[in-house]
Chains A and B, each alone.
Chain A
Amino acid sequence: MPLIDTNEITKIYQLGDISVKALCAVSFSIENGEFIAIMGPSGSGKSTFMNILGCLDKPTSGRYLLEGTDVGSLGRDELAAIRNKKIGFVFQGFNLLSRTSALENVELPMLYNGVTAKERRQMAMSALKSVGLEGREHHYPNQLSGGQQQRVAVARALVNNAPIILADEPTGNLDTKTSAEIMGLFTKLNAESNITIILITHEPDIAEYSKRIIKFRDGCIVTDEANKKIRVKDND
């Protein structure tokens, strides 16, 4: 059974009298442990697709099975529970809570699944350690560099042991060197912890870290092929 299986997913936005087709019958599947880059120009539907994969949005038609569960039939709170347990998000703008320490930011997903305060602390500490932020647990986001903030976000995505990380242009706000560090982190997580990583990017450099590249145009998948020359490390 594939981890993610979509069957003819369409998404139509209704803007007044005009209906905009953001996705047209997208069907594909992702196995456990894949590392996928989704590419495409702005407005190609990749973000819409990502939102649907992330259970933040529902398709207008079509079927989306996540670990065999039909996500389309679930309610708001059930989708929230799936996001909590199965999916970790990493955003371009980091999306950390300001005035909240790194540690507490990482603890955030566990506030919503009944983990005790003590366990929360332990798990958040070890997640921060695994992204190399040991000793910065009590720093606030504005005291951390962009790369460090993104690591906190990655730790937050990891902390619930979610099998999938969805990264929406995770390196969009970072310089080349820091981008390489973050991509290295993803590669490591994919290889060592067998976490499925799906990332959206504009940059071919970044896409090269993945094992499979899917290209979108006008709401449709145009190419879906394995990456022949995977970049393991930054060629410095």
Chain B
Amino acid sequence: MINIPSTLKISLRALRVNKMRSALTMLGIVIGVGAVIAMLAVGEGASQKIADQIASIGSNLLIILPGSTSSGGVRMGSGTQTTLTMGDTDAILRECPAVADVAPEHGGVAQIVYGNQNWSTGIRGTTPNMLNVREWQLSSGRPFTGQEVKSGAKVCLLGQIVVDNLFGDIDPTGQVVRIKKVPFIVIGVLAPKGQSLTGQDQDDTIFVPITAAQKQLFGTQFPGMVRLIHVKAKSAEDLDAAEKQITELLRQRHRIGSKQENDFTVRNLTQLMQTQEESSKVMALLLGAIASVSLIVGGIGIMNIMLVSVTERTREIGIRMAVGARTWDIRLQFIIEALTLSLIGGVIGIIIGVGGSKILSAFAEWPTIISPFYVVLAFCFSGLVGIFFGFYPAYKASLLDPIDALRFE
């Protein structure tokens, strides 16, 4: 039967008496909690940014590039060989069970003209499957159809950057643009995706049916040649299986002997980024852990001050014991005092941590995310620090001999 409200009142009064000391003691916790929150916010922001980029390139994505050519021992870069075909694309979708969808790509950079405006950008000849593989929405219009791909129709989908540069405020749908002087009808606009991980603007692009790109715009060394193939695996777990199945299939189709090297490369972009995301999470936790060291240092500050306070107030403790305070009455009084210090410090720390990360994201343009979970965690942790470091001084106080305590000068 311990009187919590009165004990709380006693503790608060004791803290008010030494305002400066209480404030300085709190400062340790304030800095600790503030640092933990700011660090976690920065870390969380960084991994969220990467996660967004993963989402923007399309999840579970594999990219198949042709191999490098070599002439007289000089090896050219990846993609210089032209070994991938439309046939490969169809075969992958047909024969690899781990693959959900496939889209070929053939294209290059070309000038596009509308009215008196012109712009140069990457033209991607592809199939309607591309929108699914890359998880790309349309902000207006319609995708091109399988029929339009077959017939090599001169239609195109514009990325937002292209629209901004050529059309300004005009609705591009239904307008005619000229790509390499060939007129194309704009049938839709791609929804903006923002920058890719490498800083490339993904919205600076034009989609056309692959047949149109092959026949009208860029030409091919042989019929049905594609520059690369985008593959969507059924799930993140299927990525490895899909990579293996594709490699096996393409080696067969390209008649590569068991001792020969592949004439293509399969790149797992999603996995690459997930690794980055994970490492940024580890980084955030590491920063948080370092910051929480300062929280512990703050806790030691509390313990130090509480020990001083117990010594200073030995006589008070003696009086309380003489009039009937029991062990836990005394203990709770000092624990609540330490807890109050650490919790008030925690609240101020949260305010400073949240404010600090907002300022950081405003001025340094770092993305920061304040997760309520971490705020609650930091608050609880500060409380725990208070109880933990308050216990020993409280324990010491409760074990004082009442007679000695009363005589203490």
A-to-B contact residues, CB < 8 Å: 51, 54, 56-57, 76-77, 80-81, 83-85, 89, 91, 95-97, 99-100, 108-109, 111-114, 117, 156, 160
Contacts and interface: CB of A to CB of B under 8 A. Distances in A.
A57 B403 contact: yes
A-B complex: 9 closest residue pairs judged by Cβ atoms: A84-B324, A109-B323, A77-B326, A112-B324, A80-B326, A114-B1, A56-B402, A111-B6, A83-B324
B52 interface: no
B325 interface: yes
Contact of B324 (A57, A100, A113): A113
A56 B321 CA distance: 9
B185 to A, nearest CB: 83
Contacts of A91: 406
Contacts of A156: 323
Contact of B325 (A54, A80, A85, A89): A80
B329 interface: yes
Contacts of A56: 321-322, 402-403, 406
B19 interface: no
B315 interface: yes
B7, B319, B321, B324, most chain A CB atoms within 10 A: B324
Interface string B302-331: 000000000000011011111111111100
B217 to A, nearest CB: 87
Contact of A84 (B7, B10, B13, B323): B323
Q: Is the interface on chain B under 10, 10 to 19, 20 to 34, or 35 or more residues? A: 20 to 34
A100 to B, nearest CB: 8
Contacts of A117: 5-6
Contacts of A89: 322-323
Nearest to B10: A111
B324 A109 contact: yes
B17 A80 contact: no
B402 A97 contact: no
Interface of B is mostly: helix
Interface string B4-21: 011100100100010000
B3 interface: yes
A112 B5 CA distance: 12
Contacts of B403: 51, 56-57
Contacts of A97: 316, 319
A166 to B, nearest CB: 10
Nearest to B320: A108
Contacts of A96: 319
A81 B326 CA distance: 7
B321 A80 contact: yes
A83 B322 CA distance: 7
Contacts of B316: 97
A112 B325 contact: yes
A56 B406 CA distance: 10
Nearest to A100: B13
A117 B323 CA distance: 17
B324 A80 contact: yes
A96 B316 CA distance: 8
Nearest to B6: A111
A83 B3 contact: no
B336 to A, nearest CB: 13
B17 A99 contact: yes
Nearest to B323: A109
Contacts of B315: 95
A108 B9 CA distance: 12
Nearest to B398: A76
A7 B120 CA distance: 110
A12 B74 CA distance: 102
Contacts of B328: 77
15 contacts: A56-B403, A76-B327, A77-B327, A80-B325, A80-B326, A83-B322, A83-B324, A95-B322, A97-B319, A99-B13, A108-B323, A114-B3, A117-B5, A156-B323, A160-B324
A83 to B, nearest CB: 5
B328 to A, nearest CB: 8
A50 to B, nearest CB: 10
A68 B322 CA distance: 21
Contacts of B10: 111
Contacts of B318: 95
Of the listed residues A83, A112, A113, the one surrounded by the most CB atoms of chain B closer than 10 A to its CB is: A112
A22 B5 CA distance: 42
A51 B322 CA distance: 10
Among A89, A108, A114, find the residue whose CB has the most chain B CB atoms closer than 10 A: A108
Given A80-B325, A111-B10, A114-B3, 19 more contacts: A51-B403, A56-B402, A76-B327, A83-B321, A84-B324, A91-B406, A95-B406, A97-B316, A99-B17, A100-B13, A108-B323, A111-B3, A111-B6, A111-B7, A111-B325, A113-B324, A117-B6, A156-B323, A160-B324
Nearest to A114: B1
A109 B10 CA distance: 14
Interface in B1-57: 1, 3, 5-7, 10, 13, 17
Contact of B323 (A77, A112, A114): A112
Contacts of B324: 80-81, 83-85, 109, 112-113, 160
A97 B323 CA distance: 12
A97 B318 CA distance: 11
A138 B315 CA distance: 22
Contacts of B321: 56, 80, 83
Contacts of B1: 114
A4 to B, nearest CB: 18
Contacts of A57: 403
Contact of B326 (A108, A112, A160): A112
Nearest to B316: A97
A156 B326 CA distance: 18
A104 to B, nearest CB: 9
B132 to A, nearest CB: 70
